[in-house]
Copies of this chain bind each other. A is one copy, B any other.
Amino acid sequence: MPSSAGPATEPAVDHRKGPRRRGEELERAILQATLDELAETGYAALTMERVAARARTGKAAVYRRWPSRAQLVLDACKLGKISDVDLPDTGELRGDTLALLRHMAITMASPLGGIMRGLLGEMTRDPELAELIRERVHTVRPSMVHVVLERAVERGEVEPWVLTSRRATVATDLLRNQFLLFGAPVPDEFIVDVVDDIYLPLVLNPAPGSGSGSGSGSG
């Protein structure tokens, strides 16, 4: 305790902040700061330094928990996840699919779109991270496709083998491709075209002479 005239090492004001956060509380604060930074500056401009500053902590506390920017962002997104979405049952496959694609298009036009794009870019750098990203993109989204298709199967609109064929995800795949290449917003005309000219013909009509390679389902 250098109460006397410390030459230079003395920190002037020494009463640090009041309550010091720890453990889970601090963790949530960091994740929230990450979400705020993402919304404000986007994925590309996000830095660990700014996140730490925004959470009113130090970089060390951040690095103690997450090894990289991408991992941090990935966890933050999990926190801010929109629930599984309330896709209304419109009574026919066309309406359900349009609703699903439009919902995705809106998401892509939000800051989440830039995050998705940025994370895809990082897959080259870190193969381990790539696995995590794929899980989120491939597991979360197509589950909604599955729901929509299962309804259609129950209605008799669609034959069951379509569920496990590559045709099932063509609409969402094409939408994702469009977004990655041309950015947001995705014109509604594109969505309607894909559904009417490509997707519905593929899943409503039994493959003419197709070997019904359905068995090859990706699994």
Q: A153 contacts the other chain (Cβ, under 8 Å)?
A: no
CA distance A42 to B124 in the complex (A): 9
A120:B123 contact, CB within 8 angstroms: no
CA distance A180 to B124 in the complex (A): 10
Question: For the complex formed by this chain, how many copies does it contain in all?
Answer: 2
Q: A92 contacts the other chain (Cβ, under 8 Å)?
A: no
- A184 to nearest B CB, angstroms? 10
Please, how many residues of chain A have a CB less than 8 angstroms from a CB on the other chain?
A: 47
Q: Pick the contact of A194: B44, B166, B181, B189 (CB < 8 A).
A: B166
Given A118-B124, A202-B198: A174 touches B180 (CB 8 Å cut-off): no
B-side contacts of A137, CB under 8 Å: 181
B-side contacts of A178, CB under 8 Å: 173
B-side contacts of A173, CB under 8 Å: 173-174, 177-178
CA distance A207 to B130 in the complex (A): 38
A180:B44 contact, CB within 8 angstroms: no
Given A183-B123, A193-B166: A207 touches B201 (CB 8 Å cut-off): yes
CA distance A116 to B165 in the complex (A): 28
Q: Which residues of A contact B (CB under 8 A)?
A: 42-45, 114, 117-118, 120-125, 130, 134, 137-138, 165-167, 170, 173-174, 176-178, 180-183, 189, 193-194, 196-198, 201-202, 205, 207-208, 210-214, 216
20 A-B residue pairs with CB within 8 Å: A43-B124, A44-B122, A117-B121, A117-B123, A120-B181, A124-B183, A137-B181, A166-B194, A167-B197, A173-B177, A177-B177, A196-B211, A196-B213, A197-B210, A197-B211, A197-B213, A197-B214, A201-B207, A201-B208, A201-B210
